[in-house]
Structure 1
Amino acid sequence: MLKIKSLKDKEFGRTIYIVANGPSVLNQDLSFINGGVVIGMNGSPLLEKSLGFVSDYYVVSDARFFSEKKKFECATKGLSDKTIRVFRKELEENDSPEYKNRTVYTKSLGRDGFSFDLNRGFYFGCTTTMLALQLAHYLGGKRIVLFGCDLTYPLSQPRAYREEKPSPIDNFTGVQIKNIRNAYLKLEERGVEFFNASPVSMLRPYLPDWSSQFVL
């Protein structure tokens, strides 16, 4: 098992791209993000081949994600050999032993907030995106770009990947927006840039738009 402290400032000063699971990512070319540091989450390994990226780090914070065989396989053998896993502590008990040597487990400190020290724990904010954001800062990222955090959950396809048994959509959008907006403010105080790259995200009024700042 990896020590959390081994990740501290490991990617200092770099751009970190977070790939969430909203369907908007299916319409974006993500092949270029391999030039930076990539954090995937939940079902993102199912998208790596088709969208042309590989995750350097992979996070899961909801124990329900392990409840289905396909999703459990996604979080284990579906990952690249180079991917480091960062999971909520409660998932350790049901995790696959053969993958624990490249996994960090961090405990939840509560729902609302932002932790600057994963060694102490993280705030889950009702979205795995929050663990990814706190990891991005702990790694020392100077710029964070968030893809696929749509928070719209259309009935036709709530997530970018197909689910045999769709996970329930929790009615916590307001809590998610509150915590991600708070993360933006906390990161801004420390000189870290944080951009939204989803053109349809509910976060658009609350975060700077990445497409207006940079040209691919």
Structure 2
Amino acid sequence: MTVVTLEAGPSGERTLHLPSGQARRLPSWQLLRNSRSGAVFIIASGPSVAEFPLKDYAHVPMIAMNGSIARFEQEGVRPFFYLCDDAGVAEKKSTAVASGIHLSQWAALGMEAMKRLYAKEPQALQAENLLLMERVNRWADVPQRSDRAFAWSARKDPDFVMNWSLLSQAANRLGFSRNFGRGYFSARTIAYVAIQLAYYLGFDKVFLVGVDMNSSLGQFYDPAGVQVKSRLDDDFDGHILPNFSLLARQVIDSGFQVFNLSRESRLPGELIPKVNLAQVHELVTLATSQPLSPEVGKSV
């Protein structure tokens, strides 16, 4: 079976080869590094998204992910970035993922997500705004190491925040990437991935919307969890919470702050402070000191 393949050039450039015979050079992440500043909203898919007046903040850059693009379609708002690293989502919600690529100024998909999406929405991979996102130590053209071996090799790398452990293999899976172009740590939730992207792009105040972390409530677009089953409950204690704890202890400081708008989120407030809309308005006003690109928040 002919599949989507990736070719790496000698200087690190990536070329996507499609079954149609087309080949296209993917944009370089380096072009986007520290290209932004100020506030950014990360829009996830928890039910509390319904409480957020998205259109009121359409002038502020936003990162959509997976099925949360449905809210942007409803409100007629264009995200700055769209992310999908889940092959299951790309397959089962292919129309939404294709829409996310089309509506957003920039979009990034994992390689497996690209392959699944091509089977349903082949034209989506021809978009010039589409980048490849890769997990740390899961690069397409580099042999994978054990988590412990990689953590040891990266323990002094300024691009990665990691705590190497001889005793705990699980501890070696925890991390935060300061350089999204070199990969990201998944933490089993794309909201955490989006925080790493926000850091890389240069934003310094990150607001989480819909990061409820309660799989029993489903997503705002799929309350029964029928379309894409969530693994939040299985992953929360062993993967999600430890990574957010690392983020709070070793990354967040006065120069990079993360806030949570979900009052009922399972993420403890002592790790990620919970804020209300009045506080958000004040913080965004202070953070948005530079004029925004006319593309950001553009109505569709």
Query: Letter of the aligned partner of 2:58 in structure 1?
Result: N
* Larger displacement relative to structure 2 (128-137 or 43-52): 43-52
Residue identity opposite 2:276 in structure 1: S
Structure 1 contact 25–148 (Cα < 8 Å) conserved: yes
1:187 matched to 2:187? The reply is no
Aligned to 1:74: 96
Q: Give the whole-Å Cα distance in 1 for the aligned partners of 2:74 and 2:132.
A: 29
Query: How many aligned residue pairs are there?
Result: 211
Taking only aligned residues, the RMSD between alpha carbons, in angstroms, comes to 2.3
In the alignment, the residues of structure 1 paired with residue 133 and residue 82 of structure 2 have an alpha-carbon distance, to the nearest angstrom, of 13
Residue 153 (structure 2) pairs with residue 126 (structure 1): no
3-state secondary structure, aligned to 2:249: helix
> Deviation of residue 187 (structure 1)?
3.1
3-state SS, counterpart of residue 31 of structure 1? helix
CA distance in 2, matches of 1:19, 1:126: 17
Query: What is the one-letter code of the residue matched to 2:108?
Result: V
The reply to whether residue 209 of structure 1 matches residue 299 of structure 2 is: no
Task: Out of 19-28 and 107-116, give the one that drifted further.
Answer: 107-116
Identity over aligned pairs, percent: 23
Asked if 1:166 is matched to 2:220, the reply is no
Q: In structure 2, what residue type is equivalent to 1:188?
A: I
Larger radius of gyration: 2
Aligned mates of 1:211, 1:59 — CA distance in 2: 26
Partners of 2:124 and 2:31 in 1: CA distance? 17
Contact 1:19–1:41 (Cα < 8 Å) also in 2: yes
Residues 91-126 of structure 1, C-alpha deviations (whole Å, 9 max, x = no match): 233344543421111221265211111121111110
Structure 2: which 5+ residue stretches go unaligned?
1-25, 138-172, 282-300
Q: Structure 2: which amino acid aligns with 1:136?
A: A
Unaligned runs of at least 5 residues, structure 1:
none
Inter-partner Cα distance in structure 2 for 1:128 and 1:78: 15
TM value normalised by structure 2: 0.64
Q: 2:263 aligns with which of 177, 199, 202?
A: 199
TM-score (norm. length: structure 1): 0.86
Residues in 1 aligned to 2:254 and 2:135: alpha-carbon distance in whole angstroms: 23
**Quick one: which amino acid aligns to residue 131 of structure 2?**
V
